[in-house]
A and B are shown apart, each in its own frame.
Chain A
Amino acid sequence: MHLHDVWFVLIAVLWTGYFFLEGFDFGIGVLTKLLARDRAERRVLINTIGPVWDGNEVWLLSAGGATFAAFPEWYATLFSGFYLPLLLILVCLIVRGVAFEYRAKRSEENWQRNWEHAIFWTSLLPAVLWGVAFGNIVRGVKIDAHKEYVGSVLDLLNPYAILGGLVTLSLFTFHGAVFASLKTVGDIRERARRMATVLGLVTAVLAVGFLSWTQAGKGDGGSLIALIVAVVALVAALGANRIAREGWAFAFSGVTIVAVVAMLFLTLFPNVMPSSLNESWNLTVTNASSSPYTLKIMTWCAGIATPIVLLYQGWTYWVFRKRIGTQHIAEAH
């Protein structure tokens, strides 16, 4: 196995970590309008991710930085090509981070309400856009002989990619609802579970459509296995949620995300960004990667750092393991 293959896997791992973790963050953000009935409940939801959302988001920065280091051509083509959607994502992530930190810093009604709107929209939009982006990466976009994206922003809004966006949105919101049922107590916990059932069913319909489309177009044996795992895990998550085994439900909704990302990357390999214009213009793990020396250094770094990160991030979740409800939220600030 070449180092660039190892790095293809590692990049997939970083994106998987990102979608697993920020997936439920985005879901919680969306649920502040879908599930919460009043400000106290919105605050309960926001506080379930309060101590962890920032650490979760760093998985994205790591995925970005690692792509830059391991596959500079991929990094360059992807982010210059998907310019405007990425701009929108960045704006959302900026506003979202500030919204979490600043919302409670003033007590005025308007101030708080505006930041709450912001949390909803800036969670919903990236949840959709990441799906659209990955749909397009897998589908192939107009890349010329110089590895430049030559399509327009409208080319990115094709039915397949949009379906991908709806899948990530519904999957993340489902994942978020399951997380909410695991982390809250009281009335909202029961409603989170009921809502998770609905969201899970919607996700199932959309995901089966999107994943079969992917499998029919570009799939192979490996991607088929991932597809089956995704579907089975989703069904298991729904089942566990149904019988109120929230921990299991969360584990399975997480496995669903892992399997979906795995399927997309399996479909992609050995390409990292196929060209829809000419196959020989595809960006591949070979022609987009860094030199073996850089990859070796990066492997050492990631090999040592990632397990340590998982340890102390895991510890954080353990420290904040207690469920919270409206009674735990202090009145005034």
Chain B
Amino acid sequence: MELALAPETLARWQFGITTVYHFLFIPLTISLAALVAGLETAWVRTAKQKYLKATKFWGKLFLINIAMGVVTGIVQEFQFGMNWSDYSRFVGDIFGAPLAFEALIAFFFESTFIGLWIFGWDKLPKKIHCFCMWMVSIGTILSAYFILAANSWMQHPVGYKYNAANGRAELTDFWKVLTQDTTLVVVFHTLTAAFLTGAAFMVGISAYHLMRKKHIKVMRTSLRLGLVTLVIAGALTAISGDQLGKVMFKQQPMKMAAAEALWDKEQPAPFSVFAYGDVQKGHNKVAIEIPGLLSFLAHNDFTSPVPGINDVNKSEQQKFGPGDYRPNIPVAYWGFRWMIGFGMTSFVIGLAGLWLTRKKFWLSPGLRTGDEEPPRLALTKNKALGARFTQWYWWLALVTLGFPLIANSWGWIFTETGRQPWAVYGVLRTSDAVSPGVSQGEVLTSLIVFTTLYAILAVVEVKLLVKYVKSGPQELTDSDLNPPTKIGGDSTDADRPMAFSY
């Protein structure tokens, strides 16, 4: 009871809940910003109405989503000071800088240009309006980069020295923090996963409308864009994930051993498909394994040894003193699997979809479809799926649209809990990072308040999304089709209503 409600435990729960929740919105924001900007660019260049309709439709869903991302991000900026004051004192010299960069460069970009985009339909020429969304997109990507640089420093601290005089870590090489391999690979992995997320979202919703044979023109285009993005992003997520794994095997062998429930060093090391073990005794009771694969994931060959949990624990005890350096192993093991499983399921669905909906390649003319009809799902050159299987595919795409969100969440839970007991790997323990002056009652209050508020907002948000998804793209109005030619709008009617108002 006491341990379960210790301020440290509560603070960790709060950080976990608020951060995982925040990150439900972030990948969608990152990817949809770029996808919407791409659709708007297509509208600007081709003047085809379907692109403008798609821009407005996906833009609306994007806005419902980014609103939540923005407001839940405010908590993140202050939470370190509130619950992790000793962490802030110890690492502020290093960790604060990327955070400040993020606010000064990325947040201003995003928030200012999103305002221009939302309200600017009748105030900005279409090229400048489109440019604003690209600025938002750049803002989201810069934001991800800076915060991931900060996180990567916690995973693998570089470019600093310990200053014994004031008992804190001090920055010596900011460039190293921004460009170390952990940062670059994590950014690569997170951004590709973000696009996987947005693409699955787009595919799922397009499938929903195509299944009902509604809004076909817009949804065919969206489906295509979504599928191509899904497949490219999915493949890159796998590649970057493999690279990240290799970096982690070097930098945090404990995390990767835990991810595999590999208790003792093996050569060659197998990849675990299923394991059930005894954490106290440090072994697996049941294990299904693929021989040699783990050696490959860690070192690119099938024979190298990989150290196990017990080995790393011993070597860390020698290095850092007595103690238990093992993270929560079932969480790491299953988190790792769920991340890969859910993420790659979406990738496979995308791959299948891209094949089934191909336009011309290896497809007899009879199965080709025009712009106005839903695509025929063609299995082979002359054979299309029947009505029932077609329906199944659309359903599958729809119900799995949230899979990457689950994968993302488990990815973060895995990588953050897998670093425990460290807040900054090898440098600062989580138990030394909490705010000593904040009482149990205070942390409990904020934990309850945030969780309740977030739960309510989740219901509100999802209901709104469903409403706007269902109602589909709207018909375009005259003012949509005749955007202003000069900044500020060129209407001579002083009383003309705003194109968009709150």
User: Using a CB–CB distance below 8 Å, which chain A residues touch chain B?
Assistant: 43, 46-47, 50-55, 57-58, 60-62, 64-66, 68-73, 75-81, 83-84, 86-87, 90-91, 93-95, 97-98, 100-106, 146-150, 290-291, 293-294, 297-298, 301-302, 305-306, 309, 312-313, 316, 318-322, 324, 327-330
A153 to chain B: closest residue by CB = B442
A69 to B408 CA separation, bound complex (whole angstroms):
28
A68:B92 contact, CB within 8 angstroms: yes
The answer to whether A297 and B115 touch (CB under 8 A), given A75-B88, A90-B78, is: no
The answer to whether A105 and B464 touch (CB under 8 A), given A68-B80, A68-B95, A93-B74, is: yes
Q: Which are the 10 A-B pairs with shortest beta-carbon distances?
A: A72-B92, A79-B81, A69-B96, A68-B96, A80-B85, A101-B67, A76-B85, A51-B115, A65-B100, A65-B103
B446:A290 contact, CB within 8 angstroms: no
B78:A64 contact, CB within 8 angstroms: yes
The answer to whether A100 and B116 touch (CB under 8 A), given A72-B89, A73-B89, A301-B105, is: no
The segment out of B170-178, B262-270, B294-302 that lies at the interface is B170-178
Give per-residue flags for B110-149: 1 if the beta carbon is below 8 A from chain A beta carbons, else 0: 0111111011100110000000000000000000000000
Contact of A54 among B111, B170, B446, B464 (CB under 8 A): B111
B82:A68 contact, CB within 8 angstroms: no
The tally of residues in B whose CB lies under 8 Å from a CB in A reads: 76
Tally of A-B Cβ pairs under 8 angstroms? 247
Known: A83-B442, A94-B74, A309-B108; 16 extra A-B contacts, CB below 8 A, are A50-B502, A54-B111, A64-B103, A65-B104, A66-B96, A68-B99, A75-B81, A75-B96, A79-B82, A97-B67, A97-B71, A103-B502, A149-B437, A294-B171, A312-B112, A330-B498
Whether B388 is near chain A, meaning CB under 8 Å from some CB there, is no
A324 to B502 CA separation, bound complex (whole angstroms):
13
Whether B3 is near chain A, meaning CB under 8 Å from some CB there, is no
A324 to B495 CA separation, bound complex (whole angstroms):
9
- What is the predominant secondary structure among interface residues of chain B facing chain A? helix
Distance to closest chain B CB from A282 (angstroms):
16
* 11 chain-A/chain-B pairs, Cβ below 8 angstroms: A47-B501, A50-B118, A55-B115, A68-B99, A79-B81, A97-B70, A103-B502, A147-B89, A291-B163, A302-B100, A305-B104
A312 to B109 CA separation, bound complex (whole angstroms):
9
A43:B103 contact, CB within 8 angstroms: no
A80 to B92 CA separation, bound complex (whole angstroms):
14
Distance to closest chain A CB from B32 (angstroms):
15
B86:A58 contact, CB within 8 angstroms: no
Whether B93 is near chain A, meaning CB under 8 Å from some CB there, is yes
B96:A322 contact, CB within 8 angstroms: no
Whether B64 is near chain A, meaning CB under 8 Å from some CB there, is yes
Distance to closest chain B CB from A64 (angstroms):
5
Distance to closest chain A CB from B183 (angstroms):
16
A327 to B105 CA separation, bound complex (whole angstroms):
37
Distance to closest chain A CB from B420 (angstroms):
22
Interface residues of B in 45-81 (CB under 8 A from A): 63-64, 67-68, 70-75, 77-78, 80-81
A84:B64 contact, CB within 8 angstroms: no
Distance to closest chain B CB from A98 (angstroms):
6
A319:B123 contact, CB within 8 angstroms: yes
A291 to chain B: closest residue by CB = B170
A61 to B77 CA separation, bound complex (whole angstroms):
7
B81:A52 contact, CB within 8 angstroms: no
Of A104, A312, A324, which is in contact with the most chain B CB atoms at under 10 Å from its CB?
Answer: A312
Distance to closest chain B CB from A50 (angstroms):
5
